[in-house]
Amino acid sequence: MIDLDSRPQIVASSSGNENNTSTAKSDADNILSQVSDRQIIGDRQEVRNIEMINLLIDEWRKMPKKLKCGALHCRFANTNNWAPNSQASLAVFLVTRLPKIIPLKPSGQLWALQTGESQSRIEIDLAKWNGYFNYSFTFKQDSDWRYRWASSLERRSPEHVTEWQDVSQVVKALWFVSNCNEEGEYEVTSARVEYAVELAKYIQLSIYTRQELCEVNINKHGRKLVVNLPDEKQPPLSDFHFYLAFENSLCEDYITEKFWKILEGRHLVIPIVMGGMRMEEYENIAPPNSYIHVRNFTSPKHLAEHLHYVVSNEKAFNYYLEWRNKYRLYKNGNHISRRY
């Protein structure tokens, strides 16, 4: 059996009072704990009347001119100039693009540390930045500003019942994968590949990739599972019952578009999830009974047995579709929520 818990656990702490400077400097309020295993603690001043955020970002990244900032009124100004604009109230630094030399911080300006990656994939030593940042901007629940991969949920009046009509004895699952590194620090990436390969022994699993390394690393386990195809030749989701929404890291609150894009779609496909640190993290943000979590099963074989039951039983399959009649997903990937 594959042990998904044999990994270092990275848990971020949260503060009880963000407006108290002494509390802000304590170890309990650790900005960097949300992106690494070191400490970066700065003064946490109350943000008022922010008119412009200077977003220090890669040239290739495209960001909208305006983003929703919770209760704040702000606009973003993209730049690849590492010298923070003195006119900006807040400068946001990407963890992966921090300058080698710390720039002069304009008087009164606030700095935020931003990343959309999991902690396990951040290799930069941030010790010298200790004390420079006032806020965090990550995917984590306890981040000051949280980038929400997820769409909002809204309960609505029951509509036409969405049901699966074609009950089949053949379990068909799909996985699009882009990172299959089996060496070095990405043990979880290797674990999810191992899990998928084992699961493929018991169900019809189709794996597609555009990365040669994925094709080599997965297919070497046995029969040819991976097909390297361009997007236009890949099969539609409607041909499958399940989709493997396996994250590349198992870190607290790390649930990405791999999961949400399946729910947003109109296809009656059930996501099988592997991610986060606890099953409760999915329960807290996703519609009820909208997914199947691998942690509910003792092994890939055990999961496969459940998948066979679901596909062969119309009532069981529709159990995972009923949420679509009670909840609506808002696609608002540019939304940023503020914690306090």
pTM as predicted: 0.68
The CATH number of the structural domain formed by 172-329 is 3.40.50.11660
Query: In which band, very low, low, confident or very high, does the pLDDT at 244 lie, cut at 50, 70 and 90?
Result: very high
Amino acid identity of residue 280, one-letter, is: E
pLDDT at 18 over 50: no
* Count of Cβ atoms closer than 10 Å to residue 140 Cβ: 24
Amino acid identity of residue 173, one-letter, is: A
CA atoms of 170 and 307, how far apart (whole Å): 10
C-alpha 42: how far from chain center: 26
Packing angle, helices 212-219 and 187-199, rounded to 10: 60
Q: Which residue has the tokens 């100039």?
A: 81
C-alpha 180: how far from chain center: 17
Q: Both tokens of residue 147?
A: 């980038």
CA atoms of 297 and 322, how far apart (whole Å): 22
Q: What is the pLDDT of residue 165?
A: 59
Q: What is the pLDDT of residue 239?
A: 86
Question: Domain spans of the chain?
Answer: 9-147, 172-329
Q: What is the pLDDT of residue 223?
A: 52
Q: State how far the alpha carbon of 324 is from the alpha carbons of 125, 156, 313, in Å.
A: 44, 10, 19
Over the stretch 72-128, which tens digit does the pLDDT of each residue have? 445 555 555 555 566 667 777 887 778 788 888 888 888 888 876 666 566 677 778
CB 47, CB 72: distance < 8 Å: yes
The CB-side HSE value for 28 (13 A sphere, CA atoms) comes to: 10
Comparing 4 with 235, the larger pLDDT belongs to: 235
CA atoms of 85 and 52, how far apart (whole Å): 10
CA atoms of 181 and 323, how far apart (whole Å): 35
Q: What is the pLDDT of residue 141?
A: 72
DSSP per position, 29-75 = S-SGGGTSSS------PPP-S---EEEE--TT----S---BTTB---
Q: What is the pLDDT of residue 129?
A: 84
Q: Is the dihedral of CA 228, 233, 237, 241 positive or negative?
A: negative
Of the chain, the percentage scoring pLDDT greater than 70 comes to 50
Comparing 287 with 139, the larger pLDDT belongs to: 287
Q: What is the pLDDT of residue 100?
A: 80
Query: In which band, very low, low, confident or very high, does the pLDDT at 275 lie, cut at 50, 70 and 90?
Result: confident
User: Of 64-78, 81-95, 176-190, where does mean pLDDT reach its minimum?
Assistant: 64-78
The mean predicted confidence, pLDDT, of the chain is 68
CA atoms of 61 and 81, how far apart (whole Å): 14
Helix runs in the chain, H state only: 21-24, 187-199, 212-219, 257-264, 280-285, 300-312, 314-319
Query: In which band, very low, low, confident or very high, does the pLDDT at 35 lie, cut at 50, 70 and 90?
Result: very low
Pairing of strands 135-138, 110-114: parallel
Question: Which residues are 242's β-sheet partners?
Answer: 173, 270
- Rounded to 5 degrees, φ, ψ at 147 are -75, 120
In three-state secondary structure terms, 242 is: strand
* Count of Cβ atoms closer than 10 Å to residue 277 Cβ: 16
Q: What is the pLDDT of residue 243?
A: 95
pLDDT at 245 over 90: yes
